[in-house]
Amino acid sequence: MTRQISRRQFLKAAGIGAAAAAVLTGCGPESRYIVREPYTRMPEYTYNGLSTYYASTCRECPAGCGIVVRTEQGRALKVEGNPNNPINYGKTCARGQVALQGLYNPDRIRKPVRQVGRGSQQYSDITWDEAIKVVQAALQENQPGQVAFMLGMVPDHLFDLVSELCVALSAPPPIRFGAHEIFDARRTLSKAMEQLFSARAFPYFDLANADVTFSFGANLFETYLSPVAFSRGFAQMRRGITGRRGYLVQFESRLSQTAAVADEWLPVTPGTEALVALVMGRLVAEIRGSAVPNAYIGVSVENAASASGVAATDLQRLANIFASASSPLAIPGGSALGSSNGLEAAQAVLALDVLAGNLGKPGGLFLSPTTPVLPELPQLPNTLAEVNDLVQRMQAGEVKTLFIHGINPVFELPAALGFAPALAKVPQVISFASFPDETSLQADYILPDHTGLESWGYQKAIGGADRVVISGFQPVVAPFYSTRATADILLAAVQAIGGDLATALPYQDEVEYVQNSLLSLVTLDGFFNAPEIKTFMARFQQFGGWWSTQPQLDTPAGVSALDQPLSASAASFDGSGEFYLFPFMSPIFGDGSGANKPWLQETPDPTTTVMWNSWVEINLEKAKLLGLEDDDVVKIISPYGEIEASVYRYPAIRPDMIAIPFGQGHTAYGRYAQGRGVNPANLFSLKINGADDLAFVATKVSLEKTGRKRVLSRLESKLGVYGE
Amino acid sequence: MNKPGWIGQIEVGNPFNEASLYKWGMVIDQDLCTGCQACVTACAMENNTSFVGEADAGYGRTMHWLHIERFWDGVYPNVKLTSYQPLLCQHCERAPCEPVCPVFASVHSLSQKTNLQVYNRCVGTRYCANNCPYQVREFNWRDYAPPEPLPNMFHPDVTVRRRGVMEKCTFCLQRLLQAEDKASAEGRVLADGEVITACAQACPTGAIVFGRLDDPESQVSHLRTDGRAAVLLEELGTLPSITYLKGGSSYGRNR
């Protein structure tokens, strides 16, 4: 009997057959594969020669990551990480990658100039010989106390040289500062270490081997101390040495990039991080059944919960997580240190490490080793209070010549500090800036230093590696313009002055000074060894620095650290506005020196995806109440100043707070930076914390609508529906 | 069994042999990604990618070959960002961008098993970008030549693209070819990790892993068997060369 085939079945079968035929006859995707012929190579298939690689050090932030720069035909092409350097082990951050756009920036100052009238941008060219004579006269004709140096946080060798120069001149020591000190508060951290452990050493947090980490405001992956090192440590922690995935908890008022990556984010009331850390200590001690140490006598869960806004149940739950961890770690940083009670916060958080019993254990708290290179010189920057002293001296007319290198104080310092008006009182300002930034435009002479990739030097890295690391700079390309190393200028002036000064600083040039400073390393056992300094220097260049072969971390003495009661006073705030002001360092622009690099401008912010501008973050629901939409321009008013910025309705920020990134808002600094965004430093109060660092989360501001709109360029709008 | 000097159909050391041993691929562990954008800038620096300026960036015309996606999830205070997800050309084996190109500018490389964009064929129809489900193709809406002396940093091994041309991630083809040719000249096979893309090289957490999918012993092959592994829009059948490992927990993680 023949089988009946319905019309439907017939069409179905025919369709399947047609589809199969399409595949078999080669009309399917297989036909899209091509076979390339040798003579039709795309440009990508040719390469023009071999590259030469030079090891050096990144100068975009103070962390001192090792880099290897690929060059071809004398041009630097690509920054790659130095796989041997124990800080970053071959990795880089976004800022390091774009360092080339500083080297080849179209707005560089190309030769030494005298500015005809400050801020006029009318320059007359001078020769380098004349420049050296100007420096020589400034050093020679002023009284020692009338000369002042202001230096940035990189590079270290210049700071060391200027420190020696100031001693020889019997001038006050150089002031060293930068926005990285404001937002990282290294001095607060080191003072807390000193008070708890009587140790004059910087802490090292072994994030890699911890299994539970509580971060109190530390922006580990953005800018804090050594972000690439912390990122690597975090990856190791998440992977888990023992197979258990590490758990990261972030206490911060706003969801930062680190908080976004963390497993839990707790939006604490600003300034209550210290209290949360203390109550956490008390709860952990109770859970463990041990006697509650004296340190935690004054704290109660109820008070902490109501002050911080973290529910008591959450506190209890988190304390359980911390107490049951095998290697718990607590890290203070960022906004916790930048509160008016920042020193107490640092102590309370470090005390948590003591309580956890992780001192000197894997995954715990260690003391960084002291550097063998000129250990007598300070490695940490100055505090804001010390910077303020300099500003007062300038204001009083006591400073006749101010040398500025590696810092842009007019931009980076809080406007309320009055640096700009004080600068106007200084008769002679000599800047070594590579770019026409806000400060160098107020200088009489601009004697441009090389950029980082054209320079010699070293950086005594701190906080990132578990051992001594001296990252080395060397020029990866010949200087692109008629620039000269600042160290060479100073040494040439010293030689020209002669006498005792020349005897005290008997160096021909920068390289000789670097070599002399590194002499102490030759006899030490390190990543490489050399019989004498010449070979040592050759290898130092080849490997991009020197570091120990083994970790060299000391254990803090924490026996009595918890015996004294710790306090957590209420943080105080200036101003009477409705909102706490939460400034944070832009993960992309850092201290603002990244803003003149166009690719950094076009790199989206990790949390908001905004490019090329500043914004002000306002809680989504709060914005609804206030009738604010995205891109509405609002005026932000603090007792110290006001700025205008576009609103970004941010879902993850406290409703009583607004946040503004620091890094944009340049009024100079080249075509890519100038006139872009706003600088929140104009709003800061000058409150300092217990360690004399700036309390940058200590201002309350109010908002005013302007009725205008300025659209922010964001990456995310592209990913949604067009025109959304 | 391989003939001496041959591996399968490939004669080792023969420069005219266009077919290749390798199938390149990538695994991205979203549990490790911190969204730091190092890969984004590393890609731009390696591949001479143009920046477009604020206005064009606002129109979504940025030339990011690699961008990082994240989404908001929840309402304050129980709000978080989803795991950061670096998104780049997925180098699909069945690439939707390829059949729609009228001029064969979007083609598949037999050698590297990657998806190529031939710039000098491209006439700018943008069909490929419209057909790409991952939105990772970038079109040069203008000539974005940067001012002197910025072009000094341009990589001589990578073409500079001009207006009207589509471009996208190439898996750092210039690096692959140089390494393949070197290994071929030395009569050997590339070792795992011997060549990696600029993004994988920069990634501070090692979230991006690049290597040979055809080698069962390579790190990417191992990671692809992780319980957290997924490919994007798998239901489209594009067979991407990039695998993502889900973030947020260790559930399903290979021990």
Evaluate if residue B158 carries a pLDDT over 70: yes
Strand partners, B167: B138
**Contact between B24 and B114 (Cβ < 8 Å):** yes
* Element of type H or E holding A719: helix A716-719
Q: How confident is the model at residue A206 (pLDDT cuts 50, 70, 90)?
A: very high
Dihedral of the CA atoms B88, B89, B94, B98 (nearest 10)? 150
Amino acid at A475: P
- Segment 96-155 of chain B within 8 Å of chain A by CB: 98-99, 104, 107-111, 116, 118-120, 135, 146-155
Kindly tell me the burial class for residue A255, based on how many C-beta atoms sit within 10 Å of its own C-beta (0-12, 13-18, 19 or more).
Answer: buried
pLDDT for residue A3: 58
- Average pLDDT (A199-207) is 92
pLDDT for residue A19: 47
- Segment 536-595 of chain A within 8 Å of chain B by CB: 587-588
* Whether residues A213 and A228 fall in one domain: yes
Reported as a single tens digit per residue, the pLDDT across A658-706 is 999 999 999 999 999 999 999 999 999 999 999 999 999 999 999 999 9
pLDDT for residue A24: 42
Enumerate the H helices of B97-192 as residue ranges.
127-131, 173-185
Q: Residues A460, A344, A195, A315: is their CA dihedral positive or negative?
A: negative
């994988």: which residue's tokens?
B200
pLDDT for residue B188: 87
Structural domains counted in chain B = 1
d(CA A692, CA A710): 38
d(CA A275, CA A303): 9
**B208 backbone dihedrals φ, ψ, rounded to 5°:** -95, 120
B101, closest residue in chain A (CA to CA): A32
Residue in A181, A595, A178 with CA at minimum distance from that of residue A404: A178
Query: What are the start-end ranges of the E strands in A523-575?
Result: 545-547
- pLDDT above 70 covers a percentage of chain A that reads 92
- Average pLDDT (A186-210) is 93
* Whether residues A505 and A614 fall in one domain: no
Evaluate if residue B178 carries a pLDDT over 90: no
Enumerate the H helices of B59-202 as residue ranges.
127-131, 173-185, 198-202
Q: Residues A213, A219, A223, A225: is their CA dihedral positive or negative?
A: negative
Q: Which residues of B67-88 are buried (b: 16+ CB within 10 A; e: fewer)?
A: bbbbebeeebbebbbebbbbbb
Residue in B178, B174, B164 with CA at minimum distance from that of residue B119: B164
Chain B residues touching A76 at Cβ < 8 A: 152-153
* Whether residues A360 and A421 fall in one domain: no
Structural domains counted in chain A = 3
d(CA A179, CA A589): 11
| Residue B134 belongs to some domain of the structure | yes
d(CA A484, CA A190): 35
Strand partners, A117: none
Would the CB atoms of A653 and B76 count as touching at under 8 Å?
yes
pLDDT for residue A39: 39
| Pairing, β A264-266 against β A365-367 | unpaired
Residue in A353, A320, A54 with CA at minimum distance from that of residue A218: A353
- Average pLDDT (A451-458) is 95
Please tell me whether the interface predicted TM-score (ipTM) of this complex is above 0.85.
Answer: yes
* Whether residues A199 and A269 fall in one domain: yes
Q: How confident is the model at residue B182 (pLDDT cuts 50, 70, 90)?
A: confident
pLDDT for residue B18: 55
Reported as a single tens digit per residue, the pLDDT across A315-347 is 999 999 999 999 999 999 999 999 999 999 999
Q: How confident is the model at residue A530 (pLDDT cuts 50, 70, 90)?
A: very high
* Whether residues A165 and A240 fall in one domain: no
| Residue A404 belongs to some domain of the structure | yes
pLDDT for residue A73: 86
| Tokens encoding A205 | 């947090």
d(CA A26, CA B232): 27
B31 touches chain A (CB under 8 A): yes
Select from A367, A396, A429 the last residue of a domain: A367
pLDDT for residue A493: 96
Would the CB atoms of A93 and B149 count as touching at under 8 Å?
no
pLDDT for residue A567: 86
pLDDT for residue A722: 44
Look up the domain containing B55 and give its range.
Answer: 17-245
Strand partners, A54: A69
Question: For A268-272, A296-300, A433-437, which range has the lowest pLDDT when averaged over its residues?
Answer: A296-300
Q: Within a 10 A sphere around the Cβ of B106, how many other Cβ atoms? A: 28
A104, closest residue in chain B (CA to CA): B150
Evaluate if residue B20 carries a pLDDT over 50: yes
* Whether residues A354 and A396 fall in one domain: no
| Residue A291 belongs to some domain of the structure | yes
| Residue A663 belongs to some domain of the structure | yes
The DSSP code for B145 is P
pLDDT for residue A623: 94
**A626 backbone dihedrals φ, ψ, rounded to 5°:** -85, -5
- Average pLDDT (A342-363) is 94
CB pairs under 8 A between A and B: 259
Evaluate if residue A187 carries a pLDDT over 70: yes
pLDDT for residue B9: 60
d(CA B237, CA B100): 16
Enumerate the H helices of A482-626 as residue ranges.
486-497, 499-504, 510-517, 533-543, 598-601, 620-626
| Residue A318 belongs to some domain of the structure | yes
Q: How confident is the model at residue A49 (pLDDT cuts 50, 70, 90)?
A: confident
Kindly tell me the burial class for residue A135, based on how many C-beta atoms sit within 10 Å of its own C-beta (0-12, 13-18, 19 or more).
Answer: buried
Would the CB atoms of A81 and B84 count as touching at under 8 Å?
no
* Whether residues A196 and A171 fall in one domain: no
d(CA B161, CA A50): 23
A224 touches chain B (CB under 8 A): no
Evaluate if residue A243 carries a pLDDT over 90: no
Cβ neighbours of residue A313 closer than 8 Å, sequence gap 6 or more: none
Kindly tell me the burial class for residue A339, based on how many C-beta atoms sit within 10 Å of its own C-beta (0-12, 13-18, 19 or more).
Answer: buried
* Whether residues A412 and A326 fall in one domain: no
Q: How confident is the model at residue A36 (pLDDT cuts 50, 70, 90)?
A: very low
Would the CB atoms of A718 and B80 count as touching at under 8 Å?
no
d(CA B226, CA B245): 7
pLDDT for residue A9: 65
Q: How confident is the model at residue B250 (pLDDT cuts 50, 70, 90)?
A: confident
Which CATH number does the domain housing residue A258 bear? 3.40.228.10
């906004």: which residue's tokens?
A335
Reported as a single tens digit per residue, the pLDDT across A98-114 is 999 999 999 999 999 99
* Whole-Å CA distances, A641 to A99, A577, A684: 33, 13, 8
Q: How confident is the model at residue A534 (pLDDT cuts 50, 70, 90)?
A: very high
| Residue B63 belongs to some domain of the structure | yes
Amino acid at A220: L
- Segment 242-281 of chain A within 8 Å of chain B by CB: 243-245, 255, 257-258, 260-261, 263, 265, 267
| Residue B8 belongs to some domain of the structure | no
Would the CB atoms of A722 and B205 count as touching at under 8 Å?
no
pLDDT for residue A5: 61
pLDDT for residue A1: 45
Q: Which residues of A487-505 are buried (b: 16+ CB within 10 A; e: fewer)?
A: bbbbbbbbbbbeeebeeeb
Query: Furthest-apart CA pair in chain A: how many Å?
Result: 122
Higher pLDDT, A24 or A100: A100
| Residue A4 belongs to some domain of the structure | no
Evaluate if residue A720 carries a pLDDT over 70: no
Distance from the B3 Cα atom to the nearest Cα atom in chain A, whole angstroms: 23
- The CA-CA-CA angle for residues A574, A577, A579, to 5°, reads 100
- Average pLDDT (A606-630) is 94
| Residue A398 belongs to some domain of the structure | yes
The DSSP code for A574 is B
| CB-nearest partner of A93 from B79, B149, B204 | B204
pLDDT for residue B253: 79
Q: How confident is the model at residue A27 (pLDDT cuts 50, 70, 90)?
A: very low
| Residue B202 belongs to some domain of the structure | yes
| Residue B66 belongs to some domain of the structure | yes
| Residue A17 belongs to some domain of the structure | no
If DSSP codes are grouped into helix, strand and coil, which group holds residue A417? helix
Reported as a single tens digit per residue, the pLDDT across A564-607 is 889 888 899 999 999 999 999 999 999 999 999 999 999 999 99
- The CA-CA-CA angle for residues A18, A23, A29, to 5°, reads 135
Would the CB atoms of B158 and A43 count as touching at under 8 Å?
yes
B104, closest residue in chain A (CA to CA): A32
| CB-nearest partner of A100 from B62, B153, B201 | B153
**A694 backbone dihedrals φ, ψ, rounded to 5°:** -70, 135
Chain B residues touching A49 at Cβ < 8 A: 156
| Residue B250 belongs to some domain of the structure | no
Chain A residues touching B210 at Cβ < 8 A: none
* Whether residues A318 and A439 fall in one domain: no
| Residue B2 belongs to some domain of the structure | no
pLDDT for residue A68: 97
**Contact between A336 and A687 (Cβ < 8 Å):** no
| CB-nearest partner of A104 from B76, B135, B149 | B149
- In the predicted model, what is the mean pLDDT of chain A? 91
- The gap from C-alpha A190 to its chain's centroid, in whole angstroms, comes to 17
* Whether residues A512 and A472 fall in one domain: yes
Kindly tell me the burial class for residue B217, based on how many C-beta atoms sit within 10 Å of its own C-beta (0-12, 13-18, 19 or more).
Answer: exposed
**Contact between A679 and A643 (Cβ < 8 Å):** yes
Chain A residues touching B203 at Cβ < 8 A: 91
Which CATH number does the domain housing residue B133 bear? 3.30.70.20
| Residue B231 belongs to some domain of the structure | yes
* Whole-Å CA distances, B143 to B50, B51, B124, B159: 9, 10, 13, 14
Look up the domain containing A308 and give its range.
Answer: 182-367
Distance from the B120 Cα atom to the nearest Cα atom in chain A, whole angstroms: 9
* Whole-Å CA distances, A278 to A20, A185, A349: 71, 20, 7
Mutate one of B46, B51, B106 to test the A interface: name it (highest A CB count within 10 A).
B51
Would the CB atoms of B207 and A235 count as touching at under 8 Å?
yes
B254, closest residue in chain A (CA to CA): A243
| Tokens encoding A194 | 């000193």
> Between A486-497 and A128-141, two packed helices, what is the crossing angle to 10 degrees?
60
B177 touches chain A (CB under 8 A): yes
| Residue A34 belongs to some domain of the structure | no
